[in-house]
Structure 1
Amino acid sequence: MGTHRRPKPPSRTRIATLGIAAGAVSLLPTQSQAAPKPTMDEVRKQVEKLYEEAEAPTEEYNAIREEQKKLQREADRGQDRIARKQEEVNELRAKIGPLATAQYRSGGIDPSVQLFLSGDPDDYLDKAQMMGRTSDRQADALRAMQSKQRELTQDRAAVTKRLKSLEETRAKAAETKDEVQGKLAEARKLLNSLTVQQRAKMEADQERDDAATGASDTAASYNGPASGRAKAALDFAYAQLGKPYEWGSTGPNSFDCSGLTGASWRAAGVSLPRTVQQQYDAGRKVAKSDLQPGDIIYWYNSTQHNGMYVGNGKAIHAPRTGKNVEIVPLDSMPFFAASRP
């Protein structure tokens, strides 16, 4: 997915405290170092920048986690196939009779079976039957066992490859998770550098900005013109108003942006892929002039942030760390595209 940086957001965006402890922890230089103390506005801008920088790796993490789940499912299915085929091989060995007995007695494979497995099975069996060294029943069993052994070898190689890829994705997910958490931890430290009074003023500024732009995370119910699945998706989304944004989350107590859109449409019986980019690729594109409630809105670009159109020039979305699911004017962020599930 892309790593585009989005433009500076409008001033309405508020900064939340992320559950900061009541006591302020000073991270600023001591007076003896004579370093300038950042102003509250500077802290606000730095924190906002860190939150923005966390968005791209958040979506990357979501994509990696989806790949990880897919690889795990494939590996599990492969191991189930191996177990079933091993049972079939064991049953075939029992049918071979004396050859199988010799194998278990000697602790190795009977020379004739070894020749069969390592050479041309058809050629071996033809000659063995001509010489009376094996019965038709044994020949059929040997052919079947050779085929299953080959399948076992292929399946084991495939599972080994899947497991290696799975470990690589796990490592990549851990790195991306560390990147996101590092940025969020830095933002928390910056906010902790403010006094209690400064943080209170910042909260007041947030509320003022939201009131000025029409943003609201107050509980409400959808009562617009949508019907059918679109209405079901919006009913679900409205029920999440006020719940916190949390990176990598798909609910039920918190959401990231694509987690909210996916969960909302899933409540309507429509399965969407996990990330912003995947949802953009999967949906049927609609023009801004043709927007209908329930359509998915993409702001900035195709990879970074999305929400759902609710009608009357407004959208619902999970904004970013420190904020709650809210309704905002559609044009409070640069409109990029829209799609209809």
Structure 2
Amino acid sequence: MASHRRPKQPSRARVTVLTGAAVTAVALTAQVSAYAAPAKPTKDEVKAQVDKLTAEQEQAAERYNGAKERADQLRKQAGQLQDQLARSQEQLTELASGLAAVAGDQYRQGGVDPSMQLMLSSDPDQYLAKASSFDQAAGTQADTLRSLKDQQRRLDQQKQEAADVLAELDGQTQALNAAKNEVQNKLQEANRLLAQLGAADRAAIMQGSDGAASRGASRIDPASLPPASGAAKIAVETALEQQGKPYKWGATGPSTFDCSGLMVFAYAKAGVSLPRTSQEQGNAGVNVGTDWHNAQPGDLVVYHSDRHHVAMYIGNGLVLHAPQTGDVVRTMKVDAMTINTIRRI
């Protein structure tokens, strides 16, 4: 008769070991999953992020331009005030010395009562002449004292003005450094994202918002454009001569440019001084509106609600601009971006 033995049950210790091993395996799997490399972003995802960073970088660059312009103005103003202070201090010292000399002379000469001097004098005419000179000296002393007080007030005001200017300069320097750091951070982040893509995809993304090839963009022949006149003619010709030169934030030429820097450079050749930033340029000249069909060659076309980009209309529905880092001065369609305002200089 066959023996029906029950299968041997695993010992409690064996069950514990097996259970512990299973838990360990699950934990290790979870750790591997947690530390697994995240999926690489697609080209479109990278492009969307890079476009956003590029816009933010240009905004920061224009803040840098504004802070730098103000800092340069303050630095010049501080230098002029220091010169004024030095001259005022010299004048104050001179007046104080003159006042001290007059007061000393009066003290030495005025120790005896005038009526007694007249009684003792053997030459009344000579005494009367001296008395007249004493009166003049007293008048001179009063005038000198008034001048001294006025000069001291001016000096104090200039000192306060210089202190205020230097304090503002310090604040602008901090704003300048903050904007500069922000630009650098945006550029580094954009480069980090681009590094995850292949060369072809990187090149495609760096073509720009209007799809034109960055460094392969064809040059526009000035003869193919409608004529401009006056300062605008010189500005357009100057701007067209910069085609192919690299974009560099904060640059106003002659070999590199940012968007507003190109406008400053071009119009400076025509003898016209433009504000430094695209935001300020959006208030320069005469407002032409937002319809580019009303634009004339030489007009500034300012883009986006915050006016962080500017280009120059050159005719035939085209503008010339310095687009972004990695790009060069080139043309694009005037309506490739949202127009905020058109300004006639």
TM-score where L is the length of structure 2: 0.73
Among candidates 36, 40, 47, match of residue 39 of structure 2:
36
CA shift in 2, pair 1:212/1:305, >3 Å? closer
Q: Indicate the residue corresponding to 2:97 in structure 1.
A: 94
Any idea what the Cα deviations from partners look like across 1:10-38, whole Å, max 9, x if unmatched? xxxxxxxxxxxxxxxxxxx9995242122
Q: Indicate the residue corresponding to 2:320 in structure 1.
A: 316
| Distance of 1:153 and 1:266 partners within structure 2 | 39
CA shift in 2, pair 1:213/1:69, >3 Å? closer
Among candidates 238, 255, 258, match of residue 256 of structure 1:
258
Q: Indicate the residue corresponding to 1:117 in structure 2.
A: none
CA shift in 2, pair 1:160/1:208, >3 Å? closer
Shift of 1:302: 5.4
Q: Indicate the residue corresponding to 1:333 in structure 2.
A: 337
Q: Indicate the residue corresponding to 1:69 in structure 2.
A: 72
Residues 217 and 325 of structure 1 are in contact (CA less than 8 Å); yes or no, is this contact kept in structure 2? no
Shift of 1:205: 6.9
Residues 207 and 213 of structure 2 are in contact (CA less than 8 Å); yes or no, is this contact kept in structure 1? no
Shift of 1:335: 2.5
Any idea what the Cα deviations from partners look like across 1:137-179, whole Å, max 9, x if unmatched? 3222222112111111111011111101110111111111111
CA shift in 2, pair 1:269/1:275, >3 Å? same
| Distance of 2:86 and 2:33 partners within structure 1 | 65
Which letter maps to 2:76? R
Residues 93 and 100 of structure 1 are in contact (CA less than 8 Å); yes or no, is this contact kept in structure 2? no
| Distance of 2:168 and 2:216 partners within structure 1 | 43
Tell me which structure has the larger Cα radius of gyration: 2
Q: Indicate the residue corresponding to 1:200 in structure 2.
A: 200
Residues 220 and 239 of structure 1 are in contact (CA less than 8 Å); yes or no, is this contact kept in structure 2? no
CA shift in 2, pair 1:257/1:333, >3 Å? same
Shift of 1:51: 0.8
CA RMSD across the alignment: 3.1
Any idea what the Cα deviations from partners look like across 1:186-223, whole Å, max 9, x if unmatched? 112222233xxx11343267669977799964444422
Q: Secondary structure at the match of 1:135?
A: helix
Residues 297 and 335 of structure 1 are in contact (CA less than 8 Å); yes or no, is this contact kept in structure 2? yes
Q: Secondary structure at the match of 1:332?
A: coil
Residues 78 and 166 of structure 2 are in contact (CA less than 8 Å); yes or no, is this contact kept in structure 1? yes
Residues 96 and 141 of structure 1 are in contact (CA less than 8 Å); yes or no, is this contact kept in structure 2? yes
Residues 94 and 100 of structure 1 are in contact (CA less than 8 Å); yes or no, is this contact kept in structure 2? no
| Distance of 2:280 and 2:50 partners within structure 1 | 28
Residues 246 and 256 of structure 2 are in contact (CA less than 8 Å); yes or no, is this contact kept in structure 1? yes
Q: Indicate the residue corresponding to 1:267 in structure 2.
A: 269
Greater RCO, 1 or 2 (C-alpha within 8 Å, sep 6+): 1
| Distance of 2:187 and 2:251 partners within structure 1 | 15
| Distance of 1:30 and 1:234 partners within structure 2 | 59
Residues 244 and 323 of structure 1 are in contact (CA less than 8 Å); yes or no, is this contact kept in structure 2? yes
CA shift in 2, pair 1:234/1:215, >3 Å? farther
Residues 213 and 329 of structure 1 are in contact (CA less than 8 Å); yes or no, is this contact kept in structure 2? no
| Distance of 1:271 and 1:166 partners within structure 2 | 23
Shift of 1:253: 1.3
Segments of 5+ residues of structure 1 without an aligned counterpart are 1-28, 103-130
| Distance of 1:300 and 1:85 partners within structure 2 | 49
CA shift in 2, pair 1:260/1:150, >3 Å? same
Q: Indicate the residue corresponding to 1:157 in structure 2.
A: 160
- Indicate the larger mover: 151-160 or 202-211: 202-211
| Distance of 1:212 and 1:219 partners within structure 2 | 12
Any idea what the Cα deviations from partners look like across 1:220-273, whole Å, max 9, x if unmatched? 442231233212111111111111111111111111111111211111111111
CA shift in 2, pair 1:213/1:337, >3 Å? farther
CA shift in 2, pair 1:292/1:33, >3 Å? same
CA shift in 2, pair 1:211/1:191, >3 Å? closer
- Indicate the larger mover: 82-91 or 66-75: 66-75
Segments of 5+ residues of structure 2 without an aligned counterpart are 1-31, 106-133
| Distance of 1:324 and 1:74 partners within structure 2 | 35
Matches within 5 A, 1:185-334: 185-194=188-197, 198-203=198-203, 217-223=217-223, 224=225, 225-287=227-289, 288=291, 289-301=293-305, 303-334=307-338
CA shift in 2, pair 1:61/1:203, >3 Å? same
TM-score where L is the length of structure 1: 0.74
| Distance of 2:254 and 2:212 partners within structure 1 | 30
CA shift in 2, pair 1:39/1:199, >3 Å? same
Residues 238 and 266 of structure 2 are in contact (CA less than 8 Å); yes or no, is this contact kept in structure 1? yes
Residues 214 and 329 of structure 1 are in contact (CA less than 8 Å); yes or no, is this contact kept in structure 2? no
